Structure 1
Amino acid sequence: MNLTLFDLDGTLIPSDSDHAFGAFMVDIGWAEGAQWRERNDEFYHQYQAGRLDLAEYIDFATSVWRSRPLAEAHAARARFMAEVMAPMLQEQAHALVRKHAQAGDLMAIVTATNEFVTAPIAEAFGIEHLIAVQLQRDASGAYTGAIEGIPSYQTGKINRVQTWLSGLGRQWQDFERITFYSDSVNDLPLLDLVSHPVATNPTPALAKIASARAWPILNLFA
């Protein structure tokens, strides 16, 4: 069996679901207009530059919905999926996932976006395993705005995949081929680790590195 890992934002979808969910919070009136949108954009640019303070961002991004009744937050997320995400789930990405599923690969999405936003997206792609930033919850089950455990960001993706594999009774060396699709230099630690890195819809910085290292470059949305 082979192992196939997919980054999500910019890789399987032609946008950033975390940033888009923040913009949606403004659109539905849950976040305060221009000022909040500007701060959301600022965090996104920090992520693209590889210098995001993830804990600070998670506190900010969840602040607009975590104090609301959970059913209300889930309803807003369902609207987001239908109105914003559904048009981004393009056939090229579905076909890539199907190819690996039909080959019998063990598959997972490994993303630095939080589990609340990404769980329904992974489900829409038919990918059972999601490794996302876990959100801390208090004794009552309410989200606190903090991160639970190691975030799946940069080198943390390696730790989280290792933990996930261990939970399945597996380890890296069990697989003949390990493929990882990603668009971002934030994922260089995991791209360097796997046997078959694929720069997918790469940023200019990752495209340059991929060319220098003779990695395949896949443009799903060209």
Structure 2
Amino acid sequence: MNLALFDLDNTLLAGDSDVEWPKFLIGRGIIDAEHHARHNDYFYEQYKAGTLDIDAFLEFQLAPLARFTREELDSLHAEYMGEHILPIIPAKARALVAAHQAEGDLVMIITATNRFITGPIARELGVEHLIAVELEEGADGRYTGRYTGTPSFKDGKITRLNEWLAARRQTLASFTRCYFYSDSRNDLPLLSQVSDPVAVDPDEALRAHACAHGWPVITLRD
């Protein structure tokens, strides 16, 4: 059996779900546009440079979730999916996921975005297995605005994947081939671990690395 791993944002999506969510909240008047833009631009420059402070970013990004009940968040997410996510799922992305599933491969999305945002997106793509940033819940079941465990970012993706595989009594060596599709230089740690790394609509740093190492470079954009 093969293992097919997919990054989500700017890979299976022609955009970033972690960017689209605050855009949606701004459009609803839930968060302040100027305040968010100032802080988000700061973190985005870090992300592009490969220097993102993941703890500080998650503290900023997750805070709005604590303002709502789970029922309110689920209702908001349904609107967000229809307005912001479904339009940026390329047909080629759906087809690639389906092709791996048709071959009997074990398919997973592994993303640095949190599970609240990405869980419904994974279901829309027909992907059962998801590794994402896990959210802390209070005694009342509401999100606290904090995360738990290891963030699935950079080397954290390797840690979380190995933990998931160990729970199944597997390792990467259990699979004949292991694919990982990603757009980002931040995924170089995991891309370098798998047998079949694939750069998807990559950033400049990943494109250069892929070309230097003979990795395939593909596009999933329609």
Corresponding residue for residue 175 of structure 2:
175
What is the root-mean-square deviation in Å for CA atoms of aligned residues?
1.2
Give the partner amino acid of 1:85: I
Question: For the Cα contact (< 8 Å) 1:22–1:37, is it kept in 2?
Answer: no
Corresponding residue for residue 72 of structure 1:
72
Question: For the Cα contact (< 8 Å) 2:63–2:146, is it kept in 1?
Answer: no
Alignment of 1:27 onto 2:27? yes
Distance 2:214 2:156 in 1: 25
Question: For the Cα contact (< 8 Å) 2:65–2:144, is it kept in 1?
Answer: no
Following superposition, the deviation at residue 20 of structure 1 comes to 1.1
Question: For the Cα contact (< 8 Å) 2:90–2:220, is it kept in 1?
Answer: no
Following superposition, the deviation at residue 45 of structure 1 comes to 2.5
Alignment of 1:190 onto 2:193? no
Following superposition, the deviation at residue 165 of structure 1 comes to 1.0
Alignment of 1:211 onto 2:211? yes
Deviation string 1:19-72 (CA, Å, 9 cap, x unpaired) is 111111111111012222232232223222211122222221122232212211
Any gaps of 5 or more consecutive residues in structure 2?
A: none
Corresponding residue for residue 133 of structure 2:
133
DSSP-derived class of the 1:4 partner? strand
TM-score, normalising length from structure 2?
0.96
Following superposition, the deviation at residue 130 of structure 1 comes to 0.5
Distance 1:25 1:44 in 2: 18
Alignment of 1:10 onto 2:10? yes
Corresponding residue for residue 39 of structure 1:
39
DSSP-derived class of the 1:206 partner? helix
Corresponding residue for residue 98 of structure 1:
98
DSSP-derived class of the 1:65 partner? helix
Distance 1:65 1:140 in 2: 14
Higher helix share: 2
Deviation string 1:109-162 (CA, Å, 9 cap, x unpaired) is 000001111001000000000000111122322212222101100000001111
Distance 2:21 2:49 in 1: 20
Distance 1:66 1:79 in 2: 19
Any gaps of 5 or more consecutive residues in structure 1?
A: none
Alignment of 1:81 onto 2:81? yes
Question: For the Cα contact (< 8 Å) 1:22–1:40, is it kept in 2?
Answer: no
Question: For the Cα contact (< 8 Å) 1:25–1:64, is it kept in 2?
Answer: no
Taking only the aligned residue pairs, the percentage that are identical comes to 44
Question: How many residue pairs end up in the alignment?
Answer: 222
